[in-house]
């Protein structure tokens, strides 16, 4: 069963839909899936045409991270690794980020002292 989830992000003013399976669609002017390609010795990229017919290249893995993983401070030089060592497999479950760039969701960070019942505060 295919449980594909899509989220919308903006890249250079272009609305994109990114799936948890690593697929990317351009939404305007008409919806179409962007075909990933691989640069020599690199990972999957998509070409995104911006206004004025200029284009930018973006790593599919970074688009998936932007859409699905809470890593707001991921610098351009941060290395994204792949569990199966296949850089064309950009599904969320296959991506490994350096832990120093992850921002845990508040519900995963554990209770604060104000969340403790009476008598259990530190």
Got the DSSP string for 20-46? Answer: TTS-EEE-SSS-EEEPPEE-TTS-EEE
Q: List the chain residues with pLDDT less than 50.
A: 1, 106-122
pLDDT tens column, 11-28: 888 899 999 999 999 888
Closest residue by Cα to residue 8 from 24, 22, 29: 24
The sign of the CA dihedral 5, 10, 14, 15 is positive
- pTM value is 0.74
Domain parsing of the chain, residue ranges: 6-107
CATH class of 6-107: alpha beta
How far apart CA 64 and CA 42 sit, in angstroms, is 16
pLDDT at residue 18 in the model: 93
């Amino acid at each position: 069963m295919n449980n594909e989830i899509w989220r919308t992000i903006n890249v250079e003013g272009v609305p994109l839909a990114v799936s948890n399976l690593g697929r990317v669609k351009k939404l305007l002017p008409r919806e179409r899936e962007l075909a990933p390609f691989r640069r020599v010795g690199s990972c999957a990229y998509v070409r995104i045409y911006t206004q004025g017919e200029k284009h930018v290249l973006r790593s599919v893995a970074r688009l998936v991270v932007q859409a699905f993983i809470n890593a707001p401070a991921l610098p351009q030089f941060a290395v994204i690794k792949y569990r199966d060592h296949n850089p064309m497999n950009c599904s969320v479950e296959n991506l490994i980020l350096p832990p120093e760039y992850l921002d845990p969701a508040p519900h995963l960070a554990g209770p604060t002292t104000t969340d403790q019942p009476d008598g259990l505060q530190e």
